[in-house]
Amino acid sequence: IAGITQAPTSQILAAGRRMTLRCTQDMRHNAMYWYRQDLGLGLRLIHYSNTAGTTGKGEVPDGYSVSRANTDDFPLTLASAVPSQTSVYFCASSDWSGRSYNEQFFGPGTRLTVL
């Protein structure tokens, strides 16, 4: 693994189903993030984690949950998917100094379609 990876690359999901998007980084960054990108809206932060064992809510957290059991992995779960969650999801990681957020490294994205 080099950098940050996401799985699956794309997924079509029936509404009401549960789905977990996976994200793994090998850069030993302490901070990780999940964004969604919708046409015309740019990137919006869903959840973040400053260090393993801690998580926080971003701008659009409703309908999503995350966990950070270790440094490398940061899965995003949709407990009961709805069509409005159709989007491209990006995971990112960075060093966090406790004061500022440094350069974020982004994964290739997961394209999710909820029908």
Partner 1 sequence: LAKTTQPISMDSYEGQEVNITCSHNNIATNDYITWYQQFPSQGPRFIIQGYKTKVTNEVASLFIPADRKSSTLSLPRVSLSDTAVYYCLVSYTGTASKLTFGTGTRLQVML
The binding site for partner 1 (CB under 8 A) comprises 31, 33, 35, 40-45, 48, 50, 56-59, 90, 92, 96, 99-109
Q: With respect to partner 1, which residue has the nearer C-beta, 2 or 100?
A: 100
Q: With respect to partner 1, which residue has the nearer C-beta, 31 or 81?
A: 31
Fill in the amino acid letter for 21: L
Q: With respect to partner 1, which residue has the nearer C-beta, 34 or 114?
A: 34
What HEC string does 11-54 produce? Answer: EEECCCCCEEEEEEECCCCCEEEEEEEECCCEEEEEEEECCCCC
Output the smallest distance, CB 8 to partner 1, in A.
Answer: 15
Output the smallest distance, CB 9 to partner 1, in A.
Answer: 10
E strands present in 58-100: 64-66, 76-78, 87-94
Q: In whole angstroms, what is the distance from residue 89 CA to residue 108 CA?
A: 9
Output the smallest distance, CB 96 to partner 1, in A.
Answer: 8
